[in-house]
Amino acid sequence: MSRVVQPAKESNKITAHPRKPIKATRIAAVRPKHAGRLKRRLRKRKAVSMEQPKNQGPLRKATSMANPKNLDPLMQNRYYGVFDIETQRSAQEVGGWHRADLMGVSCAVLYDSKKDEFFEFLEDQVPQLIEYLQQFELVVGFNIKRFDYRVLSGYSDFDFNKLPTLDILEEVHQRLGYRLSLEHLARVTLGAKKTADGLQALRWWKQGRIREIIDYCKMDVAITRDLLVYAKKNGYLLFENKSGNTVRIPFSW
């Protein structure tokens, strides 16, 4: 594939901070002679998915997410790619988010699960990116259906609805009824912190600082990949609700 650049691999070390667990199980009122039996049954029952994690649970395991092959045995046999796009123009500059096709690609980064490598694309390499995406058994991203695919549609007549896609933001919205940012999920689930944001990436583009944009985009792809691996292994992601409690979002990917 022409003009695809392979940067050196990096270790995305992630530090997590477990919280003190909160018991969520409630024992219903019953007649005294059955109370002991019901308590025993409830103690054996598996914890519900929307609960506080235990101290020795998945939060501590998130520290080794830098090497997905060690934590992803269920996904190793499925060829998937994770990608993200940064743009040249903001929604305000093109007349709204519904005109994402006019925003223009500043860069894109793609993670290939078989090669365990990241690949970078500039605007003139968008056709190669679109061709690459069609090779995967699953394309993964964060808000890619509502944003990244629409940006790419400005360069191609390809029907991106044909791609087998897992949009993590869409999955979160379906379960919670509202959306969470990638930064929020990264911080609570992985203990990771984003290095910048989309507005900063737009400022870098105007300053001609493409290397900074690529590095930022690559970090977002790595975080999205790690969220996928975490959810696949543990069956949930974590977020912080309005009360400040850490809560599980169940997934069965």
Q: Per residue in 16-56, pLDDT tens? A: 333 333 333 333 333 444 444 444 444 443 333 333 333 33
* Residue predicted with more confidence, 241 or 38: 241
Residue 136 reports pLDDT greater than 80: yes
Average of per-residue pLDDT across 76-94: 91
Q: Are 94 and 116 in contact (CB under 8 A)?
A: no
Q: In what order do the strands lie in the sheet with 165-167?
A: 117-121, 105-112, 80-87, 138-141, 165-167
Measuring CA to CA, which residue among 169, 172, 148 is closest to residue 160?
148
C-alpha 78/C-alpha 140 separation (Å) is: 12
66-250, superfamily in CATH?
A: Ribonuclease H-like superfamily/Ribonuclease H (3.30.420.10)
Percent of the chain with pLDDT over 90: 59
Residue 107 reports pLDDT greater than 70: yes
Q: What is the pLDDT of residue 56?
A: 31
C-alpha 246/C-alpha 171 separation (Å) is: 18
pTM: 0.69
Q: What is the pLDDT of residue 182?
A: 93
C-alpha 10/C-alpha 114 separation (Å) is: 16
- Compute the half-sphere exposure of residue 112: CA atoms within 13 Å on the CB side of its CA: 16
- Using CB atoms within 10 Å of the CB of residue 251, give its burial: 0 to 12 exposed, 13 to 18 middle, 19+ buried: buried
Residue 57 reports pLDDT greater than 60: no
Residue 11 reports pLDDT greater than 60: no
The pair of structure tokens assigned to 92 is: 């305000």
Q: What is the largest CA-CA distance in the chain?
A: 75
C-alpha 173/C-alpha 146 separation (Å) is: 13
Average of per-residue pLDDT across 204-210: 93
